[in-house]
Amino acid sequence: MDQMNGRVLLVTGGGRGIGAATARLAAQQGWAVAVNYAANSLAADEVVRAIRAGGGRAMSVQADVADEAQVLAMFARIDAQFGRLGGLVNNAGVVDVSARVDEMSMARWRRMFDINVIGSMLCAREAVRRMSTRHGGEGGAIVNLSSAASRLGSPGQYVDYAAAKGAIDAFTIGLAKEVAAEGIRVNAVRPGLIETDIHASGGLPDRVRDLQHLVPMQRGGQADEVAQAIVWLLSDAASYTTMSLLDVSGGR
């Protein structure tokens, strides 16, 4: 059995897509999972029900990760119900409608960076305060969700999203070095074209089908395939892996 069994994991944006797949798989491997959601309580509760039905431990917890007060309240709830955190998956994120940079608004950029970057940093800060041996913790693992967009730039569609994910890459590298001697490993997964509903939320529901010819493997990926990489990085099987940016992109 993995030594991580019984440890507590927070998955932000855990109600759907890659977050939901990660929460379910982590629970199967023995993690007690806190499933965060911003607004869709029904989706998060369904993930929790599925985990419990399989004999796992799970709770749903609401917080907009861009709101510091809500993040602090979320971590306090997890502390009270599950105990000390051992893992964090910074999965919560947003896109916006396809646009060029010269068509984008300041409000769009604020939202993009508040949720995708500052939200991840806020959650990582609170996780480090609980996991770090410097703070009396027992170590742990953080996995940030980046994107192949950080390498590709997403011109004509989501340059701001790509820039936010580039910030996540840099944050992952810096934080990994900062806490490596304190028992915390920090890595990022960079998914490519994955079949989730985030594309529809950006107004391009057929984006994976339309672009899969650009992928060397000639298909889009599935959320479960990304979850496998994330849960491996959380596990003791990745005990000497930190500061890594792992592409799960079919070769693109």
Which run of H or E residues covers position 88? strand 85-90
Helix, strand or coil, per DSSP, at residue 81: helix
Look up residue 112 and give its two tokens: 């993009």
Residues in the chain, how many? 252
Which run of H or E residues covers position 145? strand 140-145
Return phi, psi of residue 120, to 5°.
-65, -40
Q: Enumerate the active-site residues.
A: 161
The backbone region for 159, taken as left when phi is positive above 0, alpha when psi lies in -120 to 50, beta otherwise, is alpha
User: How many CB atoms neighbour CB 53 within 10 A?
Assistant: 8
Q: What totals of helices (H) and strands (E) does the chain contain, helices first?
A: 10, 7
